[in-house]
Structure formats: structure tokens, C-alpha cells
């Protein structure tokens, strides 16, 4: 089963109530929020009503909230080879 991954990219401030109601029906409240809906004609129609405000991708599976967060998290640019916390605690006890 495939899903629509819908992300609200632009704000709905100042737009007609009808548009904001469609966003609420899709479950989008804040900018950069992402929701997943099963592919269906009714959801496709709602997306077409707000196509200027959202970014849509078709994906194979839903992602959890944590997976979406980790996907957006940037690469730190470094990696930890070994922590020195263990050595510090051993020396402190002696």
C-alpha cells in the first residue's frame, strides 16, 4: 500500500477559511509538519485544493514521528570513536 507524504511548506495565514479547513482536515497545523495518508481520490482532491502550500511525495510506508525527525536532523560532521567518560570515572574512584 502506498501513502502520500504531505508536508506543509507555506503558511495559511491570510487565506480563506475554506483553505485552512482543508489543511485542518489533512491534519496540518504548523509549517514543516508532515503527515501520511493512504492514497485515495478524496485525499488527492484535498491536496489539489492546497497544492500551492504543500509538498507531496508518494512513499511505500509510513514513517514514525521519530523517523521523520531523524531524517531532517543534519549530519553533525563528526563521529565519536571512543568516549573518555569510563576512564574519568575509574580515575576518580582511585
Which of 2, 20, 25, 1 minimizes the C-alpha distance to 10? Answer: 20
Grid cell of 67 as nine digits: 523517523
Q: What is the pTM of this model?
A: 0.76
Confidence of residue 21 (pLDDT cuts 50, 70, 90): very high
What is the per-residue pLDDT for 73? 87
Tell me what pLDDT residue 88 has. Answer: 62
In tens, the pLDDT along 34-79 reads 999 999 999 999 999 999 999 999 999 999 989 998 888 888 888 8
CB–CB of 12/23 below 8 Å?
yes
Q: How many whole angstroms separate alpha carbon 52 and alpha carbon 47?
A: 9
CATH 3.30.1390.20 for the 1-66 domain, yes or no: yes
Amino acid at each position: 500500500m502506498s501513502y502520500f507524504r504531505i508536508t506543509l511548506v507555506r503558511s495559511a495565514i491570510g487565506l480563506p477559511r475554506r483553505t485552512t479547513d482543508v489543511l485542518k482536515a489533512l491534519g496540518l497545523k504548523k509549517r514543516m509538519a508532515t503527515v501520511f495518508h493512504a492514497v485515495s481520490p478524496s485525499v488527492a482532491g484535498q491536496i489539489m485544493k492546497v497544492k500551492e502550500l504543500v509538498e507531496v511525495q508518494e512513499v511505500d510506508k509510513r514513517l514514525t514521528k521519530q523517523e521523520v525527525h531523524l531524517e531532517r536532523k543534519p549530519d553533525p560532521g563528526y563521529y565519536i570513536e571512543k568516549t573518555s567518560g569510563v576512564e574519568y570515572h575509574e580515575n576518580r574512584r582511585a
